[in-house]
Structure 1
């Protein structure tokens, strides 16, 4: 077991406004029901559940609204909470909610200086309103964090870009839109698709990503559970076949934990409504335990 013990603050963000499929707003509750806090306490961590960040309910909003304003408001609150948590020397573990919450969590995590971002996701989420086929904001947070898209979102917490491309490593990509492919090919990000994992193995890929981020003093993990193959994690917002197997995902998390630089994390896109007996949240809770020090021996 990794003995780096932390003061962990669980922060729920039950927001589903960044996409069309209802249910990801129940993600924080599913993780709580799966016993996430107790799993982490058994590893020796101090764990406090801080409840949920206030989020507008879809039913209370105009059906034709683009939801940018309520998403911005929630992300501003999350930004401040993550920033405060880190300033107190604690570890923020954010429970979504759809992936648009990363605008607030990563923004807050980088307020006092750059961090390496390990983006574990089937998708790059690097669309803008001009390029997005769906217009859903959960497909835009990485673009927003890099300074592209609506000014109402790029100004969350503070104005301008929150991330530099050389501070980003994306792992498990397998579903990219045309505009995203071009941007990623021209960027300085570390891009690791499922083909890379198939050809090289997950250990080599993770070690390469960590080496690429060796200039970063600390790391933030943004874990979209759709990175895992839907055979094992059916309850996610945007499932894509051909993803990580559970053992690959555990090793990914274990290697990040062993690196020793992890400072904050989030888990997103769990949808209990389309899940099977909460198995996706159970798997996610187990994977987060691996990220925070659980090992086989």
Structure 2
């Protein structure tokens, strides 16, 4: 059974313009309005509350060296969200975290580390592998979450409470990057499996899911992270960085259907209702989650 956890964070994103605040914090309620919660309740899901973040602060370029944007607030929220995820899992539920931005992966990783969560399937239109070792422009964790999740970031972020690395690199699969992503080669050399978006489009989501399920380290279950910018801009423009070459909704649904039963939990991130004035993209995200993740945790919990 799914436990729906709302995590309305925007802490890991750059401001869309000076003085403005990213809209991802509005995503859980926008998805509720689009009918997602009602659909999931029809499948037996239960509400597991809201984990509120601290205030978003635009540092205006004055952030201290060697830190990330909203670092203190991110760490505090990660601890709270990780605890909520662990509580849901202990109750025999599959936590489904509705974000929010991709920095929420840190909380999922902390929860995985303390509860024996296995590997990571990272579905994202970008590698999210910027880190202090490869870029002077690091500092917005929503574009650096995968690097932090496997220990390639500032220790203050990648080793909170001594739990890092949160996921083993070789038990991590990334799905969905575009060929022009500048960090794809470095990431692919470190993690267990990389499946670019073009390969999913060519061979189908079912085949991609089968590859992931057969990958070493993921057979004992995994966290499934889904950034909706893996969708092509033709279908999803309500994200901060839409890039061409992404999946169609039905391709993503097929991929997620194959992965969800083995995943013990999942996160859905980066949908921005501020970029969706008529609610059409919210309906797309709601359909993807309902049809793709409806059986989240089924096999993972049967095998425990």
Q: TM-score normalized by structure 2?
A: 0.85
What are the within-5 Å matches in structure 2 for residues 237-252 of structure 1?
237-252=240-255
Question: What are structure 1's unaligned runs of at least 5 residues?
Answer: 1-5
Residue number in structure 2 paired with 1:31: 31
Change (3 A) 1:130 1:165: closer
Name the CA distance, whole Å, in 2 between partners of 1:106 and 1:160.
8
What are the within-5 Å matches in structure 2 for residues 1-297 of structure 1?
6=1, 8-20=2-14, 21=16, 22-43=22-43, 45-51=44-50, 53-59=51-57, 62-63=59-60, 64-65=62-63, 66-132=69-135, 134-135=137-138, 136-174=140-178, 177-178=181-182, 180-213=183-216, 216-257=219-260, 260-293=261-294
Name the CA distance, whole Å, in 1 between partners of 2:217 and 2:52.
36
Name the CA distance, whole Å, in 2 between partners of 1:185 and 1:49.
35
Q: Deviations over 1:111-167 (max 9, x none)?
A: 222423111101111121342464321111111111121111123254321111221
**Aligned residues of 1:235 and 1:271 also touching (Cα < 8 A):** yes
Q: TM-score normalized by structure 1?
A: 0.87
SS in 2 for 1:244: coil
Aligned length: 282
**Aligned residues of 1:122 and 1:175 also touching (Cα < 8 A):** no
Q: Deviations over 1:148-191 (max 9, x none)?
A: 2111112325432111122111111116643x233223224210
Question: What are structure 2's unaligned runs of at least 5 residues?
Answer: 17-21, 64-68, 296-304
**Aligned residues of 1:172 and 1:192 also touching (Cα < 8 A):** yes
Aligned-pair Cα RMSD in Å: 2.1
